Chains A and B, each alone.
Chain A
Amino acid sequence: MTLAAIIIAIVSFALGALLALLMIPVLVWLERRGAGLIQDRLGPNRTNVGGFRFGGVVQSFADVVKLVLKEEYYPSHIKDHRWLFILAPMITFVAALLAFMVIPFADNIVIAGESLKIQALPVEYGVLWYLAIGAVGVIGIFFGGWLSHNKYSLLGASRAGSMMISYELPLGLSVLAFVITYNSIDFNAMVAWQSGTVLGFLPAWGIVVQPLGAIILIIALFAETNRAPFSVSEGESEIVAGYMTEYTAMKFAMYFMGEYVAMNTASAVIITMVFGGYQLPWVSTEMLIENFRYFAWAIMVVMPVVVYFVIEWMYKNNAVRPTVISDGSREFEAKVLSIVMVVMTLVVEVILVYLSSAQDAVLGTSIAVMLLQIVVFVVKLMIFNLFFILVRWTLPRFRYDQVQDLGWRYLLPLSLVNLFITAIVVVGVS
Chain B
Amino acid sequence: MGKNIKVVPRHGREFKDRLYLPAIYNGMKITFKHLIDNVADSNAVDTLEYPEEQPTDITERYRGLHRLTHRDDDTMACVACFMCATACPSNCIFIEATERNDGKDEKMPSRFAIDTLECVFCGYCVEACPCDAIRMDTGIFSLIGNSREDFVLERDQLLKHKGVFGEENSRARK
Measured in the bound complex, the distance between the Cα atoms of B35 and A319 in whole Å is 18
Asked if residues B41 and A316 are in contact (CB atoms below 8 Å), the reply is yes
Count the A-B residue pairs with Cβ separation under 8 angstroms: how many?
A: 59
Measured in the bound complex, the distance between the Cα atoms of B54 and A325 in whole Å is 11
Chain A residues with CB under 8 A of B38? 37-38, 40
Q: Does A324 contact B (CB under 8 A)?
A: yes
Chain B residues with CB under 8 A of A395? 24, 27
Q: Does B101 contact A (CB under 8 A)?
A: no
Asked if residues A321 and B43 are in contact (CB atoms below 8 Å), the reply is yes
Asked if residues A37 and B39 are in contact (CB atoms below 8 Å), the reply is yes
Chain B, Cβ-Cβ closest to A45: B42
Chain A residues with CB under 8 A of B34? 37-40
Chain A, Cβ-Cβ closest to B49: A320
Label chain B's interface by main secondary structure.
helix
Q: Does A391 contact B (CB under 8 A)?
A: yes
What is the CB-to-nearest-CB distance from A165 to chain B, in angstroms, rounded to a whole number? 22
Known A317-B41, A317-B42, A391-B28: A42·B47 in contact at CB below 8 Å: yes
Chain A: number of interface residues, binned into ranges: 20 to 34
Interface size of B by CB at 8 A reads 21
Interface flags for A135-172 (1: CB within 8 Å of B; 0: not) read 00000000000000000000000000000000000000
Measured in the bound complex, the distance between the Cα atoms of B27 and A215 in whole Å is 17
Measured in the bound complex, the distance between the Cα atoms of B45 and A319 in whole Å is 13
Q: Does A34 contact B (CB under 8 A)?
A: yes
Asked if residues B45 and A37 are in contact (CB atoms below 8 Å), the reply is yes
Chain B, Cβ-Cβ closest to A389: B35
Asked if residues A394 and B35 are in contact (CB atoms below 8 Å), the reply is no
**B:1-46 near A, CB below 8 Å:** 21, 24, 27-28, 30-32, 34-35, 38-43, 45-46
Q: Does B102 contact A (CB under 8 A)?
A: no
The 8 A-B residue pairs whose C-beta atoms are closest, nearest first, are A37-B38, A320-B52, A394-B31, A317-B42, A394-B27, A324-B52, A320-B49, A38-B31
Measured in the bound complex, the distance between the Cα atoms of B11 and A37 in whole Å is 32
Sampled A-B contacts (17; CB under 8 Å): A37-B45, A38-B31, A38-B38, A39-B34, A40-B38, A40-B46, A41-B45, A42-B45, A215-B21, A313-B40, A325-B52, A326-B52, A390-B32, A394-B27, A394-B28, A394-B30, A394-B31
